[in-house]
Amino acid sequence: PKEAFESALLLGCVPVPGLRQRLADNGVGLWDLLADHPDPGDLIALTNLAEIFQPAWIVLDGYHFDPNYQAAVRALGIPVLVLDDMAHHCCYHADLLLNQNAGAEALHYTADPDTRLLLGPRYCLLRPELRAARDAMQADASERGIEMASRPRRLLVTMGGADPHGLTSLALRAVAKLGPTWETKVVVGSVFHRQIELCKQAADLPGVEIHTDVRDMSLLMTWADLALSAAGTTTWELACLGVPTLLTVVADNQFSVARTAAEAGCAIDLDWWEGLTATDLAVALEQLAADATRRAAMSTAGRALVDGKGVTRVIQAMREHDQ
């Protein structure tokens, strides 16, 4: 029934049970699409559902939503928000075009004359628990000042939900070289398929914990002194909470994220994952752990780059469009 989807309805292919449950827990309806664009069945389904539910906005998030698809959706007469991070299309058709990455302001977007561009980390779509954690950290810091461990030993490892390249295992081999004084929390998603092997590997390493399908990353991020992460959206979450981070690129769309985060001073760019060894990672972690001045500067730079108010700004832009 229409009443079940008063807040949000997600159209897509979501086969992972954990993700489906998370949507349900957050009050988001899910409509399973039987076809992906460029199959015409995708656009037909969207058009029919838009007519039935009359949504206030349609949000498109996917590299395959090309200019023709965007134009067809915008022709429905419902405001359209397009999420992008590469400026790889020849043109864009949207009421609002959002690229939350650092460096987005320097990209050239060809869009409809009335398209409003929302570019840069000011518009990062961070989860509410991260904003709450940042606010709590700031309140605490105002009382006692920001502290930076002289020799950090708490490491957070997060290589993406699926980690198809097995970098989490590589990271644990690096942890083995660091010695038993380090504490390490490893995050993997519900679509990670090497759980048994990873748990066996971790069993031989004191101080290592495996966390699966984490619901509140802010708890782990505020715990960590350092992070080793794939250069995805997690980059900006870690920056928001001031966690000095080592980044590795695992997909083509992450090159610019790693580069711009490093240029902003909140992360170290280890570049493409192929060729990285456990020794490389261990050395990089030890060097950063030994440099308290650099870590303090990275933490400050991250919190300055991502203030956690991006969702508020995007909602305000949507409201201003509706006025």
Model pLDDT, residue 147 = 59
Find the helix packing angle between 278-289 and 292-305, rounded to 10°: 90
Return the pLDDT at 26: 86
Give the start-end residues of each E strand in 213-315.
Answer: 226-230, 245-249, 267-272
In order of 151, 187, 211, 234, 272, the CA distances from 215 in angstroms are: 29, 11, 10, 14, 28
The 3-state DSSP class for residue 68 equals helix
Q: In angstroms, rounded to a whole number, what is the distance separating the alpha carbons of residues 84 and 101?
A: 9
pLDDT tier at 220 (50, 70, 90 boundaries)? very high
pLDDT, tens digit, 9 for 90 and up, residues 166-206:
999 999 999 999 988 999 999 998 788 888 999 999 999 99
pLDDT digits (tens, 9 = 90+) for 108-167: 999 999 999 999 999 999 999 999 999 998 877 655 445 566 678 999 999 988 899 999
Residues of the chain with pLDDT > 90, as a percent, come to 81
Res. 4: pLDDT tops 60: no
Question: Please, which pLDDT band fits residue 103 given cuts at 50, 70 and 90?
Answer: very high
Mean pLDDT on 95-107 = 96
% of the chain with per-residue pLDDT over 70: 95
223-253 residue pLDDT tens: 999 999 999 999 999 999 999 999 999 999 9
Spatial contact of 274 and 85, defined as CB atoms under 8 Å apart = no
Mean pLDDT value across the chain: 92
Cα-only R_g, the chain: 21
Which pLDDT score, from 0 to 100, does residue 145 have?
46
Vertex 227 angle, CA 281 and 183, to 5°: 85
Long-range contacts (CB closer than 8 Å, 24 or more residues apart) made by 289-292: 289/151, 289/152, 289/153, 289/225, 289/226, 290/151, 292/148, 292/149, 292/150
